[in-house]
C-alpha cells in the first residue's frame, strides 16, 4: 500500500463499466470474452508492394506466403490485405468483380494456398471490403448506364432538377468549397440511351447523374435496392467461406445518403450506422468469430456510434491516436487536407498530454476501449518516418506507445524498419498516395530484394494516369536512402540486435506475454507524474498482472520517482532496476513488470 503515497494519478480510466454495458443490451453477437482480435497485433500489407515472386515487378500472393515466416519472426499474428479483388487501378479500391481476385496478384488457388498457410502458421487474415462504391468499369455500372434490368437502379441516379434543390457537396470539404458537381457525375452513355427511350422528356428531368462521393470513376452503389445488398451479402459470405477471418470495411461512413427536411446527410447517417449493425449480424451468422473493423475517418466520439451498444461493428480505426502521437512527438501535425477535424486539434504540451487526449476521447465515447484500433500510419497517410523526420529515437518512442496502449494495434508494412518515402521538389508529389506505398525493402541487393525482374510497378506510368510527366523514381529513392543510412532493409536490421526491427520484435513479444499491456476492457491505464517522461501504470486486476511503462520521448535523461519498493524487472532491457527512482535515457522505454509471472532475478542496477 505504501506506493499509494507516491502515485498521484492524473487520470484513471477503466473500461469495466463500458465493457459490461454491452451485455445489458441483450446477446450482442460479439460478446465472447476471448475474442481473437483482443490479443492480435495486425500487419497491414499492400500486396502490390510486398514481394514479387515471378519477376513482373508486382507483388503477389505467393510473395506474401513466402514471407509468412518473416511476419512470424516479427511476432504479428494477424494480417490485413488491402484490396485483392479485380480492379483496374493499382490501389484496387474500385472493384470490377466481387468474386475474382486481381490477376496481377495470382490465381484464386494461390490465394487459397496463402490463406491455408497463414492459418497453419497461426495467423488470422482479413480482406479489404469496399462496398460503398465500385469501379465505373464494373459490368453492373455499364449495364446500369444502359438502363438494363435488373441493374438500372444499382446506382443512385437522379436528374439535375432533383439534385439542385437539395444542397449536395463533398462531405469532407469546407463549407462553400464544393458543389453538387463534385459528387454527382453525368453519364453520357445513360443520357444517350435515355434520349432514345424517352425522346420527349425535358433534359433537366432525365435521371442521368450518378452519385460518386469519391469521384466519377467510383460510383456509389445504391443500397436502397435490395438486390444490391443481396449481391454484397453473397460476396461477403463467399470470401468468409474461402477462409478470410473478417473484413476491413472501407469508407464505412458513406453507405447511405439521407435526404431530410433540413438537408442531406452524406456521412455517418443514421441509416448508415444501422446498415453496419445489420451487416455485422449477417457476417456473424456466417462465421461467429469473424471480425469487422471499419474505416471511419472521424473523431472518436463519432466513430463510437458504430459500436451500436455492442450490436454493431467489432472495431474501428482510431485516427486521432496517430495524429495525437505525432503532435506530441514532433510538436506539429502535417495537415493532409483531409478535413477540418485535423486543423482544429489542440496541441498538447507533451507526449503524455497527447496520449491522455487519446485515452480520454476513447473513454468518454459510447464505445469500450477495445473498439478502437490503434495505428501510427496507414496507406493513406504520410509514413510515420516522414512525419517524425526519420528520427530513430522518435520512431522507437512511437512504437513503444503503439504497442503498450490498449486497443488492437496495426503496423503498416515497413514501419518496423522505419521505411521511408521519397520526397521530391514538386510539393504535389508529397501528397501523392503512391509514394506512401513503395516496394518493401527486403535487402540491400538489386531492387531491394523485392523483385528479380528489371522493373518495379511504381515506375510504370500506366498506373498513374493523373501524373502526365511521371518518371521512374525507385532507383533514385533506393540510392538516396542508402546514402543516408545503410540499415534500411530487413536483412540488415534482422542481423543487428539494436535495430528498430528487433525493437519492434521485442515490444510485440512483451505485449503478447503480458495481458495488462493489451488489457482492453479488463484493464486500466493510469498516468504517473513524469516531468516530460510518460509513465503509465497498466494493470489487469483479476490476474494480478501489472506493468509500469516509462517512455522518455526527449533527447535528455530523466529521473522518475515511481515509489516502488525493491527491484522491478525491465522486460525491454532484461535487467532489474531499483524502483524508488529510475533514470531513463534519451528515447528509452522501460516496461517494468510488477508481479504476475516469475521473472529472472538480477542485481538492481540503479
Ligand atoms: Ca508478381
Ligand atoms: Ca454511398
pLDDT tens readout for residues 567-588: 888 999 998 887 788 899 999 9
Q: Measured in angstroms, how far is the CA atom of residue 264 from the centroid of ligand 2?
A: 12
Q: Measured in angstroms, how far is the CA atom of residue 149 from the centroid of ligand 2?
A: 21
Q: Measured in angstroms, how far is the CA atom of residue 58 from the centroid of ligand 1?
A: 4
Compute the half-sphere exposure of residue 536: CA atoms within 13 Å on the CB side of its CA.
Answer: 27
* Intra-chain end-to-end CA distance of the chain, in Å: 23
What's the whole-number mean pLDDT along residues 243-254? 98
Rounded distance between C-alpha atoms, residue 313 and residue 274, angstroms: 10
Kindly identify the ligand whose nearest atom is closest to the C-alpha of 62: 1
pLDDT at 425 over 70: no
Kindly identify the ligand whose nearest atom is closest to the C-alpha of 53: 1
pLDDT at 21 over 50: no
Strand (E) positions, 123-282? 124-129, 157-158, 184-186, 209-211, 246-249, 258-260, 263-265
Kindly identify the ligand whose nearest atom is closest to the C-alpha of 130: 2
Q: Measured in angstroms, how far is the CA atom of residue 51 from the centroid of ligand 1?
A: 8
Beta bridge partners of 540: 523, 545
- The three-class DSSP label of residue 327 is helix
Kindly identify the ligand whose nearest atom is closest to the C-alpha of 452: 1
pLDDT at 39 over 80: yes
Question: Cα torsion at 472, 474, 475, 477 (round to 10°)?
Answer: 120
Higher pLDDT, 449 or 430: 449
Q: Measured in angstroms, how far is the CA atom of residue 228 from the centroid of ligand 2?
A: 12
Q: Measured in angstroms, how far is the CA atom of residue 435 from the centroid of ligand 1?
A: 19
pLDDT in tens, 87-131: 999 999 999 999 999 999 999 999 999 999 999 999 999 999 999
Domain 1-31+522-606 top-level CATH class: mainly beta
Are β-strands 523-528 and 409-412 bridged in parallel, bridged antiparallel, or unpaired?
unpaired
Grid coordinates given for 110: 494461390
What's the whole-number mean pLDDT along residues 57-66? 98
pLDDT at 178: 92
φ and ψ at 47, to 5 degrees? -55, -35
Superfamily of domain 36-132+226-502: Glycosidases (3.20.20.80)
Kindly identify the ligand whose nearest atom is closest to the C-alpha of 52: 1
pLDDT at 352 over 90: no
Rounded distance between C-alpha atoms, residue 32 and residue 47, angstroms: 32
Q: Measured in angstroms, how far is the CA atom of residue 140 from the centroid of ligand 2?
A: 16
Kindly identify the ligand whose nearest atom is closest to the C-alpha of 134: 2
pLDDT at 420 over 60: yes
Neighbours of 200 (CB within 10 A): 5
Q: Measured in angstroms, how far is the CA atom of residue 107 from the centroid of ligand 1?
A: 11
Kindly identify the ligand whose nearest atom is closest to the C-alpha of 50: 1
Choose among 557, 543, 549: nearest CA to 592: 549
Q: Measured in angstroms, how far is the CA atom of residue 120 from the centroid of ligand 1?
A: 24
Are β-strands 372-375 and 209-211 bridged in parallel, bridged antiparallel, or unpaired?
unpaired
Indicate the helix (H) or strand (E) that contains 480: helix 474-484
Q: Measured in angstroms, how far is the CA atom of residue 170 from the centroid of ligand 2?
A: 12
Q: Measured in angstroms, how far is the CA atom of residue 147 from the centroid of ligand 2?
A: 20
Rounded distance between C-alpha atoms, residue 463 and residue 428, angstroms: 17
Kindly identify the ligand whose nearest atom is closest to the C-alpha of 55: 1
Kindly identify the ligand whose nearest atom is closest to the C-alpha of 251: 2
Kindly identify the ligand whose nearest atom is closest to the C-alpha of 213: 2
pLDDT at 24 over 60: no
Kindly identify the ligand whose nearest atom is closest to the C-alpha of 58: 1
pLDDT at 386 over 80: yes
Kindly list the domain boundaries of the chain, sorted by start residue. 1-31+522-606, 36-132+226-502, 139-211
- Contacts with 500 (C-beta within 8 Å, 6 or more apart), sequence order: 392, 395, 396, 399, 416, 417, 418, 493
Residue with cell 472493384: 95
Q: Measured in angstroms, how far is the CA atom of residue 232 from the centroid of ligand 2?
A: 14
Amino acid at each position: 500500500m505504501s506506493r499509494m503515497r507516491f502515485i498521484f494519478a492524473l487520470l484513471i480510466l477503466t473500461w469495466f463499466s463500458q465493457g459490461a454495458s454491452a451485455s445489458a443490451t441483450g446477446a450482442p453477437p460479439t460478446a465472447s470474452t476471448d475474442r481473437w482480435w483482443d490479443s492480435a497485433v495486425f500487419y497491414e500489407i499492400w500486396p502490390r508492394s510486398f514481394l514479387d515472386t515471378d519477376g513482373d515487378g508486382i507483388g503477389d500472393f505467393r510473395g506474401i506466403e513466402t514471407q509468412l515466416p518473416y511476419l512470424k519472426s516479427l511476432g504479428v499474428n494477424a494480417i490485413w490485405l488491402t484490396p485483392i479483388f479485380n480492379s483496374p487501378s493499382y490501389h484496387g479500391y474500385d472493384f470490377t468483380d466481387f468474386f475474382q481476385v486481381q490477376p496481377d496478384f495470382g490465381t484464386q488457388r494461390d490465394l487459397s494456398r496463402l490463406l491455408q498457410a497463414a492459418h497453419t502458421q497461426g495467423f488470422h487474415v482479413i480482406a479489404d471490403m469496399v462496398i460503398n462504391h465500385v469501379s465505373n468499369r464494373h459490368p453492373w455500372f455499364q449495364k446500369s448506364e444502359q438502363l438494363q434490368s435488373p441493374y438500372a437502379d444499382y446506382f443512385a441516379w437522379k436528374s439535375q432538377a432533383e439534385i439542385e434543390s437539395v444542397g449536395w457537396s463533398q462531405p469532407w470539404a469546407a463549407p462553400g468549397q464544393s458543389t453538387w458537381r463534385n459528387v454527382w457525375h453525368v453519364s453520357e452513355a445513360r443520357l444517350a440511351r435515355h434520349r432514345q427511350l424517352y425522346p420527349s422528356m425535358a433534359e433537366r428531368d432525365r435521371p442521368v447523374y450518378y452519385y460518386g462521393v469519391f469521384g466519377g470513376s467510383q460510383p456509389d452503389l445504391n443500397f436502397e435496392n435490395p438486390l444490391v445488398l443481396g449481391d454484397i451479402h453473397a460476396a461477403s459470405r463467399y470470401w468468409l467461406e474461402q477462409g478470410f477471418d473478417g473484413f476491413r470495411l472501407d469508407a464505412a461512413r458513406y453507405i447511405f445518403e439521407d435526404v431530410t427536411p433540413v438537408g442531406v446527410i452524406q456521412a455517418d447517417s443514421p441509416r448508415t450506422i444501422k446498415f453496419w449493425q445489420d451487416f455485422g449480424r449477417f457476417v456473424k451468422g456466417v462465421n461467429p468469430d469473424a471480425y469487422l473493423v471499419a474505416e471511419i475517418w472521424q473523431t472518436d466520439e463519432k466513430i463510437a456510434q458504430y459500436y451500436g451498444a455492442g450490436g454493431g461493428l467489432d472495431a474501428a480505426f482510431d485516427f486521432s491516436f496517430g495524429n495525437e502521437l505525432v503532435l506530441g512527438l514532433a510538436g506539429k501535425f502535417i495537415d493532409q487536407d483531409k478535413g477540418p477535424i485535423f486543423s482544429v486539434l489542440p496541441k498538447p504540451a507533451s507526449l503524455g498530454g497527447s496520449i491522455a487526449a487519446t485515452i480520454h476521447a476513447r473513454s468518454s465515447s459510447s464505445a469500450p476501449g477495445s473498439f478502437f484500433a490503434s495505428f501510427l500510419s496507414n496507406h493513406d497517410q504520410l509514413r510515420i518516418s516522414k512525419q517524425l523526420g526519420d528520427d530513430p529515437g522518435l520512431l522507437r518512442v512511437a512504437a513503444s506507445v503503439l504497442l503498450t496502449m490498449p486497443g488492437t494495434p496495426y503496423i503498416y508494412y515497413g514501419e518496423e524498419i522505419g521505411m521511408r518515402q521519397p520526397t521530391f521538389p514538386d510539393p504535389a508529389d508529397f501528397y501523392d498516395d503512391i509514394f506512401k506505398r513503395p516496394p518493401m525493402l527486403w535487402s540491400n541487393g538489386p531492387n531491394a530484394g523485392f523483385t528479380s525482374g528489371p522493373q518495379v510497378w511504381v515506375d510504370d506510368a500506366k498506373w498513374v494516369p493523373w501524373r502526365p510527366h511521371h518518371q521512374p523514381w525507385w532507383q533514385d529513392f533506393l540510392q538516396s536512402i542508402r546514402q543516408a543510412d545503410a540499415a534500411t532493409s530487413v536483412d540488415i536490421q534482422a542481423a543487428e540486435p539494436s535495430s528498430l526491427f528487433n525493437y519492434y520484435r521485442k515490444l510485440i513479444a512483451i505485449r503478447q506475454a503480458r495481458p495488462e499491456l493489451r488489457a482492453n476492457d479488463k484493464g486500466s491505464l493510469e498516468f504517473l507524474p513524469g516531468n516530460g517522461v510518460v509513465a503509465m501504470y497498466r494493470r489487469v486486476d483479476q490476474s494480478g498482472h501489472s506493468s509500469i511503462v516509462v517512455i522518455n520521448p526527449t533527447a535528455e535523461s530523466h529521473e522518475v520517482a515511481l515509489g516502488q519498493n525493491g527491484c522491478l524487472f525491465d522486460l525491454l532491457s532484461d535487467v532489474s532496476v531499483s524502483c524508488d527512482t529510475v533514470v531513463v535515457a534519451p528515447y528509452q522505454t522501460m516496461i517494468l513488470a510488477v508481479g504476475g509471472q516469475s521473472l529472472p532475478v538480477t542485481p538492481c542496477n540503479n
